[in-house]
Amino acid sequence: MKIAIMGAGLSGLTCALTLEKYGYQAEIYEKRGMVGDRFIVAEAMLSMFYHPYDDAVKYISEAHGIHLKPTNSVNKVFIHSEHESAHIEGQLGFINMRGKHSESFEKQLANQLKSKIHFQQNVTHEDLSKAYTHVVLATGDPMDTEQLQPYEEAFKASFKGAIVEGDFNRTDVHTFFNNKLAPKGMAYLLPHSEREASFVLVYPQYPENEGVDKEQLWNACLAEYCKRLNQDLRVRETFSIKDYRAGKTENARIGNTFFVGNCWGAISPLFGFGQFESMLTGIYAAHDIAGVGDYNELVQDLYQSYHDSLTLRRAIETLDNKQLDLLTKSVKVKWVEGLITNKHMNVLKLLSRVIHPFVRSTEK
């Protein structure tokens, strides 16, 4: 077999690493000049959304032999709405770095790899399909998927983020829901260390948000949450993204082409993260190529998680600020917090049920 992987991101690299464990080496083609050649940003892997896996890093290591070192553990997640704040506690997951950071997940994966990565290669699927028996599409761009099959887009999102300096508890995550500052979206703060964090504003590009001035929202959002955190955050580096697509493929595999990562639909519609899902799709595609699994069957649980995440996002989008306050306040009730942090329950499905009464009140 001759195997080509288009893209040296999380899904492409985990696919290559898994293939190596079965005795195969892939040729990896990356259009950028290095692994992780993008802005530095922190992302969260919250285990409550990965049922039945209560520790994603442990699972990847023990079940698949791929070893990652997160930047921080997450012990508290704070939820802030316009007038309320609440938090949940426990071993809730991890914060990891992405992009050019020396400890980004991409760079950690590349350091474990033996297969060759060909950088600055602007190859096409058509080129590779003529020369290789198997092609793994892992470019991270759904537009590449659309050249080969339908891609069901849930929405496009707009991001503005920055590395900020301040005083942080590195195990605390802060999330902010306020439709005046993040219309039908959110902001979040993820620490890199005690002195540095990523602060990100993200909202869907629905027609009603087309006239929104992202810079004004960003400035207002940052100012508001400096007050909420009781400190002045000093902005060091910024980034901005438009038309970031969340959606999913119709087929996980067509012939000997495998769609993985964002080319499959690994982005969680709820918060926009997808590291765990991306890595699993890469691993599952490798299992199929090596003849130890069926990719279409292996990703069925991931498809279900995507749908649960999208259902919850649609529900939250119906809430106004008053209802977001009520929802935040409900998290202060101990049994509600206990349900959310229960590792034996599917939190995505649970939260959909918790939020249902608030959604119904918007329909009256």
pLDDT above 70 for 361: no
Which residues 6+ apart lie within 8 Å of 198 measured at CB?
41, 42, 161, 162, 163, 164, 189, 190, 192
Neighbours of 361 (CB within 10 A): 14
- pLDDT, residue 358, reads 58
- pLDDT, residue 157, reads 96
pLDDT above 70 for 239: yes
- pLDDT, residue 364, reads 45
pLDDT tens digits, 303-337: 989 988 898 898 889 999 999 999 999 999 887 78
pLDDT above 80 for 76: yes
Average pLDDT over residues 68-93: 96
The phi, psi pair for 80, rounded to 5°, reads -115, 130
pLDDT above 80 for 357: no
Number of domains in the chain: 1
pLDDT above 50 for 32: yes
pLDDT above 80 for 343: no
- pLDDT, residue 198, reads 97
pLDDT band at 139 (very low <50, low <70, confident <90, very high): very high
Helices 300-317, 347-362: axis angle to 10 degrees equals 30
The tokens for 344 are 């034996």
**What does the DSSP assignment read for 74-141?**
EEEEEEE-SS-EEEEEEEEEEEEEETTSTT-HHHHHHHT--S-EEES----HHHHHHH-SEEEE-SS-
- pLDDT, residue 15, reads 98
Average pLDDT over residues 250-268: 96
Average pLDDT over residues 26-32: 97
pLDDT above 60 for 193: yes
Alpha-carbon radius of gyration of the chain:
20
Average pLDDT over residues 243-265: 96
pLDDT band at 353 (very low <50, low <70, confident <90, very high): low
**Structural domain that includes position 38:** 3-362
Q: Report how far residue 1's alpha carbon sits from residue 43's, in angstroms, rounded to the nearest whole number.
A: 36
pLDDT band at 355 (very low <50, low <70, confident <90, very high): low
Average pLDDT over residues 181-189: 96
pLDDT tens digits, 276-306: 999 999 999 999 999 999 999 999 999 989 9
pLDDT band at 272 (very low <50, low <70, confident <90, very high): confident
- pLDDT, residue 352, reads 65
Question: What CATH number should be reported for the domain holding residue 167?
Answer: 3.50.50.60
Using DSSP's 3-state secondary structure scheme, residue 233 falls into coil
pLDDT tens digits, 198-223: 999 999 999 999 889 999 999 999 99
pLDDT above 60 for 82: yes
Average pLDDT over residues 132-151: 96
pLDDT above 80 for 344: no
- pLDDT, residue 144, reads 96
